[in-house]
Chains A and B, each alone.
Chain A
Amino acid sequence: SQQGEEDPQALSIQEGENATMNCSYKTSINNLQWYRQNSGRGLVHLILIRSNEREKHSGRLRVTLDTSKKSSSLLITASRAADTASYFCATRTSGTYKYIFGTGTRLKVLA
């Protein structure tokens, strides 16, 4: 499998529910970031978690990182229709310059 794979590939929930997306990666990383992409638009940075951190919060976002399992999760609480977008995790392998993006989770929040 590829570096940075999110699951599920697609998620459909009702407004007000929580949305959880997962990301798995393969190599040792310095940090992991989550980005959001509205349809046909550029990616927007949401949150960054360093390899020595286990959990981080930002507003309605909560990110966890488990380096032993090489996985991360993004939780969006109390989702809104405006949260409808694709969400990508991005990792940078130690000693490299490039951020590798996962395959993305397409989230649809129904009003």
Chain B
Amino acid sequence: EPEVTQTPSHQVTQMGQEVILRCVPISNHLYFYWYRQILGQKVEFLVSFYNNEISEKSEIFDDQFSVERPDGSNFTLKIRSTKLEDSAMYFCASSERQGVILGGSGANVLTFGAGSRLTVL
């Protein structure tokens, strides 16, 4: 069964350092997302991406964050200067379609990766 893969599974970094988290979405999916989950807390939306541009982002997704799809297969999340509060699990997700675009009922299922745990010291 197709899956979303994320690397690294765990990264430890010093505060102020840049971090890049990588994701390989399912190959025929068109919509890509990053979510994060601070330990034991809710799953928070960061950003959605379609057609090589950000379609929506949350208040969390400030200038320190960026996303890129550099080569048609990878989807990356970059944090330019990490803060202690960036420590969390970061989940990548992809979906095949988006009802808003197609004018449908908006039913699309997100397939999540296993996550990348980021620890900022």
Contacts and interface: CB of A to CB of B under 8 A. Distances in A.
B42 A104 contact: yes
A98 B45 contact: yes
Nearest to A90: B110
A42 B94 CA distance: 12
Given A31-B105, A98-B58, A41 B48 contact: no
A90 B33 CA distance: 14
* Most B C-beta atoms less than 10 A away, residue of A43, A44, A102: A43
Nearest to B31: A97
B43 interface: yes
Interface in B67-121: 89, 91, 93, 98-100, 105-107, 109-115
A48 B112 contact: no
Contacts of B58: 98
Given A41-B115, A99-B45, A94 B110 contact: no
Nearest to B3: A42
Contacts of A97: 31, 48, 50, 55-56, 98, 100
A42 B114 contact: yes
B65 interface: no
Contacts of A48: 107, 109
Given A41-B115, A43-B43, A103-B42, A98 B48 contact: yes
A40 to B, nearest CB: 8
A41 B115 CA distance: 7
A101 B46 CA distance: 12
Contact of A30 (B43, B105, B113): B105
A33 interface: yes
Contacts of A37: 43
24 contacts: A31-B106, A35-B112, A37-B43, A40-B115, A41-B114, A41-B115, A42-B112, A42-B115, A43-B112, A45-B111, A48-B109, A50-B105, A50-B107, A92-B106, A96-B56, A98-B48, A99-B33, A99-B45, A99-B110, A101-B42, A101-B43, A101-B44, A102-B42, A103-B42
Interface of B: 4, 31, 33, 35, 41-45, 48, 50, 55-56, 58, 89, 91, 93, 98-100, 105-107, 109-115
